[in-house]
Structure 1
């Protein structure tokens, strides 16, 4: 997968946006996990610690770091998801899993335990942009 300028800049921008978000800081005290965003053209592993993005790996290999869950969708679905006003059924992860090609895999208990913070991070993709 070829890297682009957007995919190179996105980890820093997403980290900044998330780590400055008042809602994540207020609710994220126990938000400790690692998850993978598979965006077809690129994959991003986000490592969270106490509600803050600790690091983001771009296109990690299978042995780089363990992650608890992943969210996978086509690049087109992610692009729509990241719009300020996405079309219906691309506005949230549950809607996109029911009507689009988004899928959730892995330890979904960890996702559910951190659902409010994770949902907020997915909303922040509309601020940081989507790197595909």
Structure 2
């Protein structure tokens, strides 16, 4: 572990704990009430399909099946980047998704239909920042 703390595993159990933290949040129902989307959270070679309805995570599935097509956007990064991002006090360049996606840093890839990504950026940012409480 480094001075910032650390996390090694982003398995389905960890993702489900994060989802419970998101669904228990008191702020997201307000800022995310219109956030209804399906997005992929990619960690190394594993992809988690996150189904969000009105700012609450309704369903998580590990891996993409043929019937899971139609997700809106994807946020994909190596586990080392997600590990740094999800620390209580993240190191520089891992404090938000913009720093991770910066062209000089290139830790996070944002792909797909970015319209719902931009429309719900505040709620999504809050949702991802709750990774630091898991």
1:10 is paired with a residue whose SS is: helix
The alpha carbon displacement at 1:6 in A equals 5.8
Q: How does 1:9-48 map to 2 (within 5 A)?
A: 9-48=13-52
C-alpha distance in 1 between matches for 2:131 and 2:66 = 25
The alpha carbon displacement at 1:101 in A equals 1.7
RMSD: 1.6
Structure 2: state its 5+ residue gaps. Answer: 1-8
The alpha carbon displacement at 1:26 in A equals 1.4
C-alpha distance in 2 between matches for 1:107 and 1:118 = 15
The count of residues paired between Structure 1 and Structure 2 equals: 124
Instruction: Say whether the 8 Å CA contact 2:40–2:71 is kept in structure 1.
Output: yes
C-alpha distance in 1 between matches for 2:20 and 2:77 = 24
Which of 118, 125, 131 is the matching residue for 2:131? 125
Structure 1: state its 5+ residue gaps. Answer: none
TM-score w.r.t. length of structure 2: 0.85
TM-score w.r.t. length of structure 1: 0.86
C-alpha distance in 1 between matches for 2:91 and 2:15 = 25
Instruction: Say whether the 8 Å CA contact 1:47–1:56 is kept in structure 2.
Output: yes
The alpha carbon displacement at 1:28 in A equals 1.4
Distance 1:79 1:11, change over 3 A: closer
The alpha carbon displacement at 1:58 in A equals 1.1
C-alpha distance in 2 between matches for 1:54 and 1:65 = 17
